[in-house]
Amino acid sequence: MENLYKEFTDSGRDMTLSEFSLKFKQAKALIDYLTFGRIDYTNPQLVERFNDCVLELITYDFDQEKDFLKGHRSDGIKSEAVGSQRVDYLTATVDDMNKLDAMKQNKYVGIIKKYFGLTGLMYRGV
């Protein structure tokens, strides 16, 4: 996991190791859930695929959160004006948050399918 953290921070993103560790565990749990816990972590090819997938999931989540926070204020201020300069802020509603969560879940599944969809690990049939 430390190698993934180094790769993540080397890409110019800033996150503490404890935050990254939490995101890593969440991503691993989701991958294991969608692959029915059948990833063989002794297989170097699957481990590399897993690491790439986790890194993409964490990067997507980080960038999505940063973009969301950039345009939203949490203190209730909707706009500010100083002289002729005016700035308007978006305020998130519950519907906005639900839409964002649904969009993120769909994206997560899409990322995992990209890495594991053709491996047979996501197929639960006989």
Residue 18's pLDDT is what? Answer: 95
Is residue 1 helix, strand or coil? coil
pLDDT in tens, 15-45: 999 999 999 999 999 999 999 999 999 999 9
Considering the entire predicted model, what is its pTM? 0.78
Q: What is the CA radius of gyration of the chain?
A: 19
28: nearest Cα among 61, 54, 60, 6: 54
pLDDT in tens, 58-113: 999 998 877 665 655 555 556 677 888 887 766 667 887 788 889 899 999 999 99
d(CA 117, CA 98): 26
d(CA 115, CA 35): 11
